[in-house]
Amino acid sequence: MKKQELRRLLRADLYRNCGRASAGALIRGVLVGGPFKYVFWARFCKYLSRKSFVWRPLYYVARIILNHYMFKLGLQVSFHADIGPGLLIGHFGGIVVSRRAKIGKNCNLSHGVTIGVAGHGPDRGVPTIGDNVYIGPNAVIVGAISVGDNAAVGANCVVTKDVPDNAVVGGVPGRLISEKGSYELITRTDWEHADDPQ
């Protein structure tokens, strides 16, 4: 990951969290920003993990800070996961995302969400989440499945099968309940036009 990509990711995350992407908003977000603090340090750890050994001391410090917030906020979103820009964690607590998960841009994660590994043998795998996906409180998405763009996963839903684009799924196991998608649930997606926090 290059420095420009890190800045792009942080600008998108910050804008989706507070509606601004200024340097002041970044400082406030890192100091008092709740879940954004975790997202910031996760992005920073991923950036540093791909730098040369000269950066290793700073990487270890960042890992210590990230682990502190992991326990304090109850967030276990692996920095190894492939997560697109504009990640919004609405409320902290009980969120687990596998290190092998793939999540598109502008994803909303609610408290209690699990995105993890399931299956046996060749069926074993982790989910791929599309763009502009809303995942409700305590939802569980597991296995080698895909959740389409603009989909919404309802509260307490257990998803073990593919979800098409623009679908709303709910229940246990998850089933299609509408095709209205996540359009009213995903906001502040115009982060590309936001100011750069430098």
pLDDT tens readout for residues 173-191? 999 999 999 999 998 888 7
pLDDT band, very low/low/confident/very high, at 93 (cuts 50, 70, 90):
confident
Out of 68, 91, 120, 193, the active site residue is 120
Mean per-residue pLDDT of the chain: 90
Whether residue 87 contacts residue 104, with contact meaning beta carbons closer than 8 Å, is answered with: no
Which top CATH class is 3-178? mainly beta
* pLDDT value at 163 more than 90: yes
Q: Is the pLDDT of residue 33 over 60?
A: yes
Cβ atoms < 10 Å from Cβ of 73: 19
d(CA 11, CA 29): 11
Q: Span 157-171, mean pLDDT?
A: 95
197 within 8 A of 40, measured Cβ to Cβ: no
68 is catalytic: no
Signed CA dihedral, 177, 178, 180, 184: sign only: negative
SS3 126: coil
Q: Where are the chain's structural domains? A: 3-178
SS3 114: strand
